Amino acid sequence: MLSAPARGSGWWAGDVRVRSVLGSFRRDRPDDSVHALVRRFRAGDDAAAAHVLEAARAAIRRDAALRGPSVAALVVPGHDGEVQPGLTELVAALAVGAGWRIEPRVLVRRTPVPEAKARPARDPAAEAASLSTRLEVLPSTTATILLVDDVCASGATLQACATALRAEGWAGQIAALVIAVAR
């Protein structure tokens, strides 16, 4: 589901362009330095959070499509419905320099779904159905919804978010910024 076109142009999850802050890591290599940094970020390590923040700021500086007040940043809800505090803090810090609008609770997971590593195959329809959206809270000037997540493995969660947003009538751009891509 996740595809990588030409070098340097990012990954795609369906029609969602995925920009990775740190690049990618191999799931079968727990000693991979990017994987270790992501795990430390998830655990709340301040040094890891600072490293991710600086790398994300650099990625945003390189990509004008990720900047400006027409971008609404949404943290992707976890499979259990919770939003990672580290991601919320990262988005808040990035919003200042990028000029984003932060729109909490526009995208909510109503029903928990198992993580990809805890089940054999994804059910894209069930995952999209587990999400609800509140597009009415977005300013009319919003042109791009930026989904922010820690790791993109198959791209199924990002695709499910895009499907849920489109089902509720979102016709604008949808992009994603992730800390890393698992391959």
pLDDT in tens, 106-123: 999 999 888 766 556 667
15 found inside a domain: yes
Please state the rounded mean pLDDT for residues 83-95.
95
**pLDDT tens-place string over residues 13-37:** 989 999 999 999 998 888 899 999 9
Domain residues for the domain of 95 are: 7-182
**Beta-carbon contacts of residue 84 (< 8 Å; ≥ 6 apart):** 42, 75, 78, 150
The yes-or-no verdict on residue 6 having pLDDT over 50 is no
pLDDT confidence of residue 7: 43
Q: Which of 169, 146, 170 is nearest to 158 (CA)?
A: 146
Residue 1 lies in a domain: no
Give the pLDDT of residue 60. Answer: 95
In this structure, what CATH number is given to the domain that contains residue 117? 3.40.50
Domain count, the chain: 1
Kind plus residue range of the DSSP H or E element containing 96: helix 85-98
Residue 49 pLDDT class (50, 70, 90 cuts):
very high
Taking the model in full, what pTM does it have? 0.92
